Amino acid sequence: MVNTIEADPPVRAGRGVAVTWWYTLASAASFVVVVLALWSVAVLSAEAAEWRKGAYLLGAAAWVAVFSPTALAYRRADRESPVRLRAAPTLVFCLGVAAAALTGTAAGSLTLGLSLAATLIAVLPWQNGVRLRVMALCTIVLVVAAVLERTRAAPDSSAALTTLLLFATLLPVTVVSALWWWDIVRELDRARAAEGRLAAAQERLLLAGDVHDLQGHHLQVIALQLELAERLLGSDPEAALEQLRAAQRSVDGARTGTRELATRFRSVPLVDELANAADLLRSAGLRVELEVDPAAAYAPAETLGPVVRETTTNILKHGGGFSARLRLARELDEWRFEAVNDLAPDAKDADGTGTGVLGMAERVERAGGTLRAGAVRRSFELDARLPVGSDS
């Protein structure tokens, strides 16, 4: 039995962030539906020309068709750079504004048309601080339009119209509030991922310092022993030979100490390796699916750990940047690690002959397993299999 899990301490935080996004989007979309539904009731129940009713439904449907993909794209949009006018997105945005104008005209409400247009503006990937100023201006315009529209309306429509205008005015503000909440969650998740990478870097620096101290000490001792052996070689060959033996023992000690340091560095549990890999990929904007066998603690971590790290690096360097799937499972008498990711259009070594893949294959084969990798359509698939107990 294989459980599907996501990365957080150690496995689930990434999933929590993804769920938060969908809850955020659902709450914003729900308010949009409520506003359009209230105005639909008002328009369809009013004594108005049939073309107005049809135009309202057409405009509202067209606006929703533009708003939905624009809002979905917000999740992976780059908000570090200014908003750029590109042909296709600009055309879609203009169609959305036209649909907003049609909806407002059919409903006989300038406020509704401006509200729908402002909501589209709200979901554009503005830089930090820019959205606040833009939406403050839009809100002021909406409030002025709503007050003027309410003032000019017939007295007998006071309560219903006031409610409709209030909902229309609050629509962009509500959507912006939802996106602001999502931005906070996303930044917290990035900070958590960055903290994990910083901890790994600090561990590497600590290891480098330990290796430097260990090798420096042994090399200094070996140099002294060899120098002494050279001096004794002419006068006391037996003593010189003893110094050479001592130097050999120092070499063995350095080798043993280095191996122990490497073992300590590689001792990260494989479940954590996979969780960290998923977190790192998610922080790069990929949609990641992670499946880990409940008995993964018994998998050959010494062999698969480096494979997981190299695979993650390859996905970041050569992947298309949209999705990845990592899976570790026990199948009968072998452990199987699978990684599938989309490919970038200009990806190299997609045939699985790159040095990184070949290095992983050699490592797995030394442990008695097999590794296959290569492109399948527009995806890259890696399949590593190791016999149970291959690290023991």
pLDDT tens readout for residues 239-266: 888 888 888 888 888 888 777 776 666 5
311 and 363, same domain (yes or no): yes
184-206 in b/e burial notation, b at 16+ Cβ within 10 A?
eebeebeebbeebeeeeeeeeee
What residue numbers bound the domain in which 377 lies? 270-387
Instruction: Dump pLDDT digits (tens) for 91-105.
Output: 888 898 999 999 889
**Is residue 7 one of the residues assigned to a domain?**
no
77 and 117 housed in the same domain: yes
Secondary structure of 13-36 as H, E, C letters: HHHHHHHHHHHHHHHHHHHHHHHH
| Euclidean distance between CA atoms 53 and 60, whole angstroms | 11
Mean pLDDT of the chain: 82
290: its two tokens: 């992670």
Can you give the pLDDT at residue 7? Answer: 38
Which residue is it, tokens 């008002």?
42
Which residue, 190, 217, 246, sits at the end of a domain? 190
- C-alpha 232/C-alpha 209 separation (Å) is 35
Q: What percent of the chain has pLDDT over 70?
A: 86
What does the pLDDT average to over 69-89? 68
pLDDT in the model for residue 266: 55
Sheet holding 3-4, edge to edge: 3-4, 287-292, 319-331, 334-343, 379-387, 370-376
In-domain check, residue 6 = no
Indicate if 92 and 27 belong to the same structural domain: yes
Q: What is the mean pLDDT of residues 259-282?
A: 78
Higher pLDDT, 12 or 230: 230
218 and 311, same domain (yes or no): no
Tokens 């203009």 correspond to what residue?
94
338 falls in which pLDDT band (50, 70, 90)? very high
Sign of CA dihedral 34, 37, 41, 43: positive
For residues 369 and 244, state if they share a domain: no
One-character DSSP codes across 299-361:
S-HHHHHHHHHHHHHHHHHHEEEEEEEEEEEEETTEEEEEEEEEEPTT-SSTTS-SHHHHHHH
Domain count, the chain: 3
What does the pLDDT read at residue 227?
Answer: 85
Q: Are residues 79 and 175 in the same domain?
A: yes
50-64, 99-113, 141-155, range with the lowest pLDDT: 141-155
pLDDT band at 44 (very low <50, low <70, confident <90, very high): confident
Least confident of 6-15, 22-31, 36-45, 233-242: 6-15
Contact 146, 168 (CB under 8 A): yes
| 28 and 134 housed in the same domain | yes
Stretch 349-354: mean pLDDT: 61
Confidence of residue 3 (pLDDT cuts 50, 70, 90): very low
Residues 237 and 305 in one domain: no
- Is 288:282 a contact under the CB 8 Å cutoff? yes
Q: Which of residues 156, 190, 224 is at a domain's end? A: 190
Specify whether 175 is located in the same domain as 232. no
Q: What pLDDT sits at residue 63?
A: 92
Do 278 and 382 lie in one domain? The reply is yes
Co-location of 274 and 226 in the same domain: no
Q: What is the mean pLDDT of residues 348-365?
A: 77
Residue at 370: amino acid letter: T
- In this prediction, residue 349 carries a pLDDT of 55
- Ordered DSSP codes for 236-267: -HHHHHHHHHHHHHHHHHHHHHHHHHHHHHT-
127 and 161 share one domain: yes
pTM of the model: 0.49
